[in-house]
Structure 1
Amino acid sequence: METLGGINYKILVCYAIAWIITAICLRKGVKLVGKLAYFTATVPYAIIAILFVRSITLDGAKTGMDYFILKPDFSRIFDPTILRHAASQICYSLSIGSGGLHTLASYNPPTHNVYKTAAIITAADGIMSLLGGISVFSILGFMSSSLEVPIEEVVQSGIGLAFVAYPEAMSRLPLPWLWSFLFFVMIWILGVSTQFGFVESICTAIYDQFPVTRNHRSLLVYGICFILWCCGIIMCTRAGIFYFNIFNDYTASFGLMLLIFFEIILVCHIYGIKNYIYDLRTIFGVPKNWIAKCFGPTGYYPAFICWKELFRLQPKWPSFPRHQMYGTGGVINSSRVWVTDLQQSPSDSPKQTRL
């Protein structure tokens, strides 16, 4: 690709607004983020519940639900490609390995039951994914019924599902502006709340390494948000979709799984598994969960073997015309994204729980 095609100023302005909101909210610290969480964590659930109730009452909703969950193809349950995508999606959906969960958890009191919290987060994420999937595919089933075409011709993958197929389906409903507004508000809240956790993890790592920066919190937050905003400007160009696909392919699947594996190595072999177990026993006592006893310091080795086999099959990357292929420099530059994330490993997290 020889040119970026110029800046799409509408996207650039929206992108800048998102980062300005992030900077303003984070300059007051994690206490304000905790208060905002009551809004950013509950409103998406309320919206998805509204969309869920509306979608399952539409004509053709049964077709979409059959395609999504009611009539699964069990012959593909052991397909390595399916398992690889499932593992990547779970890690990405739960924000495992990105540092946000470690950062926010570090502010809990020492006696906080993290096992219970982990179970609640996992269950809530699974329920949210299930409700969201049913809502989306029920409306796509309605669209399939309205157009009298197979649902396979309606369903799209990637961003085409959220920003093309689903909005088009909602435009055929009564009061289309209302459902579209609720859907995109939900998407926006989820995106901004994700930015909160990502930026806060970077700030916390810097505070712990350089305590003097705590006296200049606002300046640091503004600086980090500005740098990250500059890094994403390339995706606001008319060729941004190509760079977005590179970023998505290298961070949301292979790169994320590899990052998690290296983080486990850092905890077990750099920080020390004995130190880690001592920390856990100091806070929680001797583990009574049989899973915690079985998966000790060597538990990630068989997991790595399974992961290696799942990624043995090369994924099918999006194809474009020859004149729009990624440049070699662009691929190399984008492949460094997941390497940069290693700087946010658990070893950079606070040595002790904050009070």
Structure 2
Amino acid sequence: MGKEKGESSSEATSIDAREDREQWGGQIEFLLSCIGYCVGLGNVWRFPYLAYRNGGGAFLIPYLIMLVLCGIPLFMMELSLGQFSGLGTITAWRASPIFKGIGFGMVGVSFLVCIYYNVIIAYSLFYLFASFQAKLPWTETCREWNTNATCAASLVNKTVENITSTIATTMAMQSTTASPNATNTTEALKIKTVSPSEEYWKYRVLRVDKSTGIDDPGYVLWDLCLCLLLAWIIVFICLAKGVKSSGKVVYFTATFPYVILIILFIRGILLDGAIDGIRFYIIPKWELLGNSAVWKDAATQIFYSLGVAFGGLLTFASYNKFNNNLFRDTMIVSIGNCATSVFAGFVIFSVIGNMAKINGVDIEDVADEGPGLAFVAYPQAVSLLPIPQLWSALFFFMLFTLGLDSQFAMVETVVTGLVDEFPKFFRNRKTHLMLAVSIVAFLLGILLVTEGGIYWFNLYEWYSAYFGLLILSLFMCLAVNWGYGYAFTTKWRFNHDIKLMLGFQPFWYFKIAWMFVTPAMITFIILYSGIFYTPITFGDYKYPKWAENLGLCMSFSVCATVPLYMVGRMIVALIQGQSIRSLFNPSPRWGPSDTSVPYDPKTGGQPDVPIYSITNGESEKTATYEQYVTDDIPDAYSKL
């Protein structure tokens, strides 16, 4: 079949993008995979430290607002596009080929995030292996990684109670009132120090004291590097067998974390000082709502946690059956994801309150406001449980499984996007492509497991899902709803496509959000964050200007693919004598994944005559009469 007018060469090679495409073994596998993808380290690792950095309760308000106005609508939109087309993140933009740069941007942001995301999994493996020791190493106070102050404090604190008791007894025997002096003496004996778990994280795991900053990476930490290698080997093995194999894995990985979190929550709220941490978490500091960083962090956390604009949702939905009830899946996953984040916050802030009580410091001063907060507070929590080695191993195995689910989706997004877009090159070489992606990402991740690697890790974490992701989601929202769904083809076409799948159009909430509220809110966040831009920091360390500029380039590179592809595609069209207008219209190969559904790429389907209807949660195909007429049918009346 020759190349049709209006198509690029890559589109022409994507003829077989849907052929022999795998599907989920059942609806529950897709739902659990989405839960595993969205409910991940972003909930139990990233959300708590962002809430801690932004004043606890003050962060919850913009977080919930962004969920309703942006998170849920974009989640539904991305699932709908993927399920309807049955194509990957790049090829799905046959809907409006001029916007195919959005697909390349999704692949780019997923690749950048999966580089440092697997480093978090490596940290989890490191702690998992360390859990099999006679005594948990992060509970020790006089090991080589502990500071002199901590070691001295542990020795002094053992005798503080005895000394205090002696002083109190002596003073009671005196006739003069000397209780203030006793109090002062007691306070003088207390040594303020950081927790052993924080020192273990900083000086044993990261060895951050060996580096002066981002421009001093130092030596490779080979124990962490081997954990990173193991993490990539596991990801590759699980994904190499295909989506059905990873779908079976999520039955365990998507449900097991909730058991551990519930146990830690029950233990956490019983700790002394837990109520202080929870109060810090739920009571907002209203003045912080005027800080642009709070709103920026809330928006990016919604995108990060739900996986919106990363392409993972689109990829997962492309393996769905055409009539899967994605509205139900949207509400279950998005609301469940938010609830998990809030619940994880209660777990970690109850422990932070206890740590503040033990160390005699304010909640804000318990630990550094950085990505390592979870690796300080959670180890402290499990060390307080009976048989701490067992619970520590179970907890960090939970972190490991949480990370795997999300990592599966991001790597699958990169691989599926390239396979669907270039099937002639990669259709029969998917495993080789996945191996190549894993090797390249591992090599790039080695910089993050050096003595100064945490500074690079923080740079990746800060900028890879920042301005670029917000701008990319804005492009996606405008292209799908105002471009494909209104201006360039028939009006409300995207809503009609959804009706072909579900038997009903999206509710008014989605229509208004897609067209007006969501793009306006994203635009506001982008402009507000740009005007009141806050440079990257790591604790008290301020990044040099070149590192900040490098991070901004990283962030904007994922959205720069959109205008660059537009310009390049227009130039090619002009050289080939094609109409620029045709680039905005759906490709002749655009259509539903179910090829039995009547559909015209130019005008769409017949929304008033639904092919599918949903009754009691089950999808049934509407009975229709079809008569196929071809020239090969003999004349039935020839013998009369």
With normalisation by structure 1, the TM-score equals: 0.86
Aligned partner (choices 208, 221, 225) of residue 438 of structure 2: 225
Listed as ranges, the gaps of 5+ residues in structure 1 are none
Q: CA 1:13–1:288 in structure 2 vs 1: closer, same or farther (change >3 Å)?
A: closer
Q: What is residue 191 of structure 1 aligned with on the other side? A: 403
Q: CA 1:134–1:299 in structure 2 vs 1: closer, same or farther (change >3 Å)?
A: closer
Equivalent pair of 1:247/1:334 in contact (CA under 8 Å): no
The correspondence of residues 293-308 of structure 1 with structure 2, limited to 5 A, is: 293-308=511-526
Equivalent pair of 1:40/1:190 in contact (CA under 8 Å): yes
2:476 counterpart of 1:263: yes
Equivalent pair of 1:19/1:229 in contact (CA under 8 Å): yes
More helix by share: 1
2:463 counterpart of 1:250: yes
Q: What is residue 124 of structure 1 aligned with on the other side? A: 336
Aligned-partner Cα distance in 1 for 2:551–2:525: 25
Q: What is residue 242 of structure 2 aligned with on the other side? A: 29
Aligned-partner Cα distance in 1 for 2:237–2:544: 36
Equivalent pair of 1:58/1:142 in contact (CA under 8 Å): yes
* Paired residue type of 2:440: I
Aligned-partner Cα distance in 1 for 2:240–2:400: 20
2:550 counterpart of 1:332: yes
The correspondence of residues 167-206 of structure 1 with structure 2, limited to 5 A, is: 167-168=379-380, 170-206=382-418
Q: What is residue 253 of structure 2 aligned with on the other side? A: 40
Equivalent pair of 1:98/1:341 in contact (CA under 8 Å): no
Give the Å deviation of 1:176. Answer: 3.2
Equivalent pair of 1:106/1:354 in contact (CA under 8 Å): no
Q: What is residue 159 of structure 1 aligned with on the other side? A: 371
Aligned-partner Cα distance in 2 for 1:77–1:321: 23
Aligned-partner Cα distance in 1 for 2:539–2:254: 38
Equivalent pair of 2:367/2:373 in contact (CA under 8 Å): yes
State the number of aligned residues.
Answer: 350
Q: What are the superposed Cα offsets for residues 289-316 of structure 1, whole Å, 9 maximum, x if unpaired?
A: 1112323545554224422343121124
Aligned partner (choices 534, 538, 556) of residue 315 of structure 1: 534
Q: What is residue 220 of structure 2 aligned with on the other side? A: 7
Q: What are the superposed Cα offsets for residues 61-106 of structure 1, whole Å, 9 maximum, x if unpaired?
A: 212111111x333454454432222111111111111111111111
Aligned-partner Cα distance in 1 for 2:280–2:474: 34
The correspondence of residues 205-220 of structure 1 with structure 2, limited to 5 A, is: 205-212=417-424, 213-220=426-433
- Worse overlay, 154-163 or 43-52: 154-163
Q: What is residue 72 of structure 1 aligned with on the other side? A: 284
Give the Å deviation of 1:332. Answer: 2.8
* Paired residue type of 1:328: W
* Paired residue type of 1:336: M
Q: CA 1:158–1:192 in structure 2 vs 1: closer, same or farther (change >3 Å)?
A: same
Higher-Rg structure is: 2
* Paired residue type of 2:553: S
Equivalent pair of 2:221/2:449 in contact (CA under 8 Å): yes
Equivalent pair of 1:107/1:354 in contact (CA under 8 Å): no
- Worse overlay, 121-130 or 271-280: 271-280
Q: What are the superposed Cα offsets for residues 123-181 of structure 1, whole Å, 9 maximum, x if unpaired?
A: 21112112211111111212222333332221432223112344245445543333432
Aligned-partner Cα distance in 1 for 2:225–2:320: 37
Q: What is residue 203 of structure 2 aligned with on the other side? A: none
- Worse overlay, 299-308 or 197-206: 299-308
* Paired residue type of 1:133: G
- Worse overlay, 136-145 or 326-335: 326-335
- Worse overlay, 151-160 or 297-306: 297-306
With normalisation by structure 2, the TM-score equals: 0.50
Q: What is residue 141 of structure 2 aligned with on the other side? A: none
Q: CA 1:155–1:5 in structure 2 vs 1: closer, same or farther (change >3 Å)?
A: closer
Supply the RMSD in Å over aligned alpha carbons.
3.0
* Paired residue type of 2:550: I
Aligned partner (choices 345, 350, 355) of residue 133 of structure 1: 345
Aligned-pair identity in percent equals: 33
Listed as ranges, the gaps of 5+ residues in structure 2 are 1-213, 566-585, 596-640
Give the Å deviation of 1:265. Answer: 3.7
Aligned-partner Cα distance in 2 for 1:166–1:354: 47
SS at match of 2:321: coil
Q: What is residue 315 of structure 2 aligned with on the other side? A: 103
SS at match of 2:323: coil
* Paired residue type of 2:232: W
- Worse overlay, 227-236 or 181-190: 181-190
Equivalent pair of 1:140/1:169 in contact (CA under 8 Å): no
- Worse overlay, 335-344 or 77-86: 335-344
2:502 counterpart of 1:287: no
Equivalent pair of 1:242/1:326 in contact (CA under 8 Å): no
Give the Å deviation of 1:22. Answer: 0.5
Q: CA 1:236–1:62 in structure 2 vs 1: closer, same or farther (change >3 Å)?
A: same
Equivalent pair of 2:348/2:377 in contact (CA under 8 Å): no
Equivalent pair of 2:219/2:451 in contact (CA under 8 Å): yes
Q: What is residue 143 of structure 1 aligned with on the other side? A: 355
Aligned-partner Cα distance in 1 for 2:402–2:305: 11
Equivalent pair of 2:472/2:559 in contact (CA under 8 Å): yes
Q: What is residue 87 of structure 2 aligned with on the other side? A: none
Aligned-partner Cα distance in 2 for 1:167–1:351: 51
Q: CA 1:121–1:252 in structure 2 vs 1: closer, same or farther (change >3 Å)?
A: same
Equivalent pair of 2:264/2:382 in contact (CA under 8 Å): no
SS at match of 2:509: helix
